[in-house]
Structure 1
């Protein structure tokens, strides 16, 4: 079964409200074995909603809409879906009675406008909503099925789990399972990772995808099977290949800061930081994880006050790390120092030094310090240098 999601509400287009419903539905549908190929966001406009539903039915077997089922005049999803099926709206007294009973239970008067919520497209199957005043409904014809759910997240989730999933299982015969496992990698560029797993990214089942943020990479393995055990076996086979090809650069299921925090805790080590960048990207990376923050004995931020080439920056990073390690009596110390010279591409050499009880490790890489993203890359590089030492892996 192929599905599309239509999120309805002008507040979503204006950025006032974040569309969490679509993300939830996509995850749940995938887990139920339903392919989601498209998500659309539409404002509160009946003609545009109608057009979106018609177009979605041309492509998908299942369309799930959320939002626009309230009592006000801008809640036009009912009218739009009815028009997409060329059906009139039909009044249901039992729905109005349920809505009235809910208002009575809350000891609140029901407005006349709530009567609009008792209308659904003719022939639609009503899905009662015990969590709110907006009944949901399901409409079917030869093209496919449209299920319309409230936009309130708690109501939408309840109805999806108690009504939509049983419908898909019992009436539409959905028995397959889709599992997704996310692995994290760091230390290689996205293009290099892509080259190493190119053949895996071209296979259909399990599917493999990659996304990047702050020089950290997520590898998603998705498997479809008739049972969870079969899907897990497919994922395990692909994960084993990825582990072999990426080696030390693959972190596994944990993200980089979590790995560093766990290793510091397991080895009962403390840390100090010397950073020569006023924006302090490494400090921000360390403080983003509370468990790392608890291991941080002290920090010195000391921007460069004299010209320094790449070698001088490396020496300053090592000297700064040694100084803060002695001052705060920490087990480990990181020193980070950019050079004062930009290369032809506008990048700056940034030196890293990790002082340990067994000596020091140094690393120098170019970064674009003119952008926030470039500075975030520095935080990732520092955490990865620390991770490799803690995991007793070579640089």
Structure 2
């Protein structure tokens, strides 16, 4: 079965509301073994919603819509679905009674506009909504199935789990399983990683994809099989190949800050941090790791108060790392210091220094510190320098 998702609501197009519903539905469909090939976001316009549904039915067996089932005049999903199926809307007194009972239970008066919610396309199967006033419904013809759910996330999730999944399993015979495992890599560029696993990214099952974020890379392995165990085996085989090809650049299922915190705990080492940037990207990244406070003895944030070229920045990073390690009696000191001025391309040299019981390690790389993303890249480079040392020492 192939599926498409249509998220309905002008607020989604205006950026006022983030569409979390589609992400949830996509995850749930994948777990149920249903391919999701496309997601569409459309505003509260009857003609455009109708067109989106008809187009989706031309490509997919299953279309799931969320939103636009409220009582106001801009809630036009019911009308659009009816038009897409060339059917009239029908009034259901039982639905209105349910809506009225819900308002009575809340000791609130029901508005006349709520009567609109008692209409569904002719022939549709009504899905009662005990969590809200917007009834959902399911409608089928020879093109496929459209399931229409409320846009309120809590209501949508409840109905998806209690009604949609049983429908797919019991009535549509969906028995396959899709599992997804996400691995994290760092220290190689996206293009290099892509070249090393290019053949895996071309295969049909399991599928392999890559995405970049803050100089860290997510590798997603998705496998389809008739059972959880079979899908797990397919993923494990592919993961073994990726581990062989990426070697120490592959972190595993945990992200970089978590891996660093785990290695510090395993080796029973403490860390002090010196950052020459007021934004403190290394500290911000480390705070994403749970229980890091036990390993992080102290932090000094000290932006430059005098000009420094690349060599001076490197010396300052090392001096700062050594000073904080002494001050807080930590096993390791990590220093980060950008030079004063960017080059003609806008990139600034950032120096990193790691002070260890046996010596020091230095690294200097250029980053565009004018953007938050560039500073996050610098934070990743610093943590990866620390990770490499900890990984070597734990072997």
Interval containing the TM-score (normalised by the shorter chain): over 0.9
Q: Name the residue aligned to 2:242.
A: 242
Greater mean deviation of Cα atoms: 88-97 or 345-354? 345-354
Q: CA deviation at 1:290?
A: 5.0
Note the C-alpha offset of 1:241: 0.3
| Equivalent-residue separation in structure 1 for 2:317 and 2:282 (angstroms) | 13
Could you tell me which residue of structure 2 aligns to residue 358 of structure 1? 358
CA deviation map 1:174-221 (0-9, x unaligned): 111111000000011111101110110111110000000110000000
Matched, 1:383 2:383: yes
Q: Which residue of 1 aligns with 2:169?
A: 169
Which residue number in structure 2 is paired with residue 180 of structure 1?
A: 180
Q: Which runs of structure 2 are paired with 1:338-349 in the superposition (5 Å)?
A: 338-340=338-340, 342-343=342-343, 345-349=345-349
Q: Deviations over 1:119-176 (max 9, x none)?
A: 1100111111111111111111111110001111111111111111111111111111
Instruction: Give the distance between the partners of 2:221 and 2:375, measured in 1 at CA.
Output: 29
**Distance in 1 between the 2:279 and 2:150 partners?**
44
Is 1:95 matched with 2:89? Answer: no
Instruction: Confirm whether residue 212 of structure 1 aligns to residue 220 of structure 2.
Output: no
Could you tell me whether the CA contact under 8 Å between 2:258 and 2:288 is conserved in 1? Answer: no
- CA distance in structure 1 between the aligned counterparts of 2:312 and 2:100, rounded to whole angstroms: 76
- Structure 2 CA distance for partners of 1:393 and 1:205, relative to 1, 3 Å: farther
Aligned residue for 2:9? Answer: 9
Q: How does 1:255-334 map to 2 (within 5 A)?
A: 255-334=255-334
Classify the secondary structure of the residue corresponding to 2:151.
coil
Contact kept in structure 2, 1:248 and 1:393, CA below 8 Å: no
1:146 aligns with 2:146: yes
Number of aligned residue pairs: 394
* Structure 1 alignment gaps of length 5 or more: none
Shift of 1:108: 2.0
CA distance, structure 2, for counterparts of residue 112 and residue 371 of structure 1 = 52
- Please report how far the alpha carbon of residue 265 of structure 1 lies from its aligned counterpart in structure 2 after TM superposition: 2.4
Structure-2 residue corresponding to 1:228: 228
Structure 1: distance between partners of 2:228 and 2:350: 47
User: Which is further off, 173-182 or 348-357?
Assistant: 348-357
